[in-house]
Structure 1
């Protein structure tokens, strides 16, 4: 009995996997969702588990704009709109915070920054 039931179970499993595969394909670059190039995430800063600040680039050519958005579980708010900024590679001197603090404590043990 189990040998005649096995092909039927495989058929049901494949039928259940088709919607899952289509759902995953829609949400990946392979599905063409990112092919339009009209919008991309530039940066994201998590503030809490369900709050973050996101910078998104929208438009093409001279119509490109960066939107700074406040994102919560209930809403998305535009905080600022600005022209696209030149993107640079991460600075070679960018150190983790702990190393920057150690360097400052060694260099300026008692003074404030005069920049």
Structure 2
């Protein structure tokens, strides 16, 4: 009976130490943090530029992925169930009042389309 009890105790101790071991390996870069990257590829820098709450569990978030000329800015709709890309701002430019109005109307069209689609999806549930 004692050998079985010792084996069970060792197994429980190993399971309890596993999260600590994984964290240590990640800190030493021996174990990858993300599972979606190709081997040896460095992760793209990601920066949150802004966030706006539009409901109890819905947000619109603007993020920048990459650096320099390769940077892409994304406008994302974030809910508890999904993240959806609403708009892509591929280049930086100086905005004039007319350009801001044009971009705002385009974004309003995208938001209206997303709301129509969401209401249709809720009607089918």
| More helix, by proportion | 2
Q: What is the TM-score with the length of structure 2 in the denominator?
A: 0.41
**Structure with the higher fraction of residues in strand conformation:** 1
Who wins on radius of gyration, i.e. which is larger? 1
